Amino acid sequence: LECVRFTRMIVRDKDLEVLAEGFGEKLKILRIEVCTGFSTNGLVHIGNRCSGLRILSLETSFIHDNGGEWLHELALRNKCLESLNFHLTPLDNYDYKDLVLIAKNCSESLVSLKLKGCPRKYVVEVFSYAVNLE
């Protein structure tokens, strides 16, 4: 299983944990769009185990924000991310430096980044590393 898409569903943290444990490195595309029922605690499992993830889209999902550890784990472990999208979500409790780290680690692969509320200072730094952003 390389691609999973949840749309207009209730997704639980436990579902994300099972997905990450079962498919981890093999999972390339994860789209959880217009969904509810999960939190950043579930996303931590994705960040920890899915280091081969190329696309992560959470757009328009209602996610309970328990902090930015999920993004930090993704930033530490992923070197091939092409697209990260958490636009139109309530996620704003994260360290902007993790976005910069993603841009550094994925400088050649990252082509799309859709987020919200990032200060200009960090956006400029992200663009300095992620040279292929469209």
Going from N- to C-terminal start, the domains of the chain cover 3-129
Q: Residue 108 above 90 pLDDT?
A: yes
- The DSSP 8-state label assigned to residue 92 in this structure reads -
Prediction pTM value: 0.95
Architecture of domain 3-129: Alpha-Beta Horseshoe (3.80)
Q: Residue 14 above 90 pLDDT?
A: yes
Structure tokens at 84: 């990260």
| Residue 38 pLDDT | 99
Q: Give φ, ψ of 26 to 5 degrees.
A: -80, -25
- Summarised one tens digit per residue, pLDDT across range 37-84 is 999 999 999 999 999 999 999 999 999 999 999 999 999 999 999 999
| Residue 119 pLDDT | 87
| Residue 47 pLDDT | 98
Q: Residue 34 above 90 pLDDT?
A: yes
Q: Find out whether 99 and 71 touch, Cβ atoms under 8 Å.
A: yes
Q: Residue 117 above 90 pLDDT?
A: no
- Average pLDDT of every residue of the chain: 96
| Residue 86 pLDDT | 94
- The arrangement of strands across the sheet holding 112-114 comes to 3-7, 29-33, 55-57, 83-85, 112-114
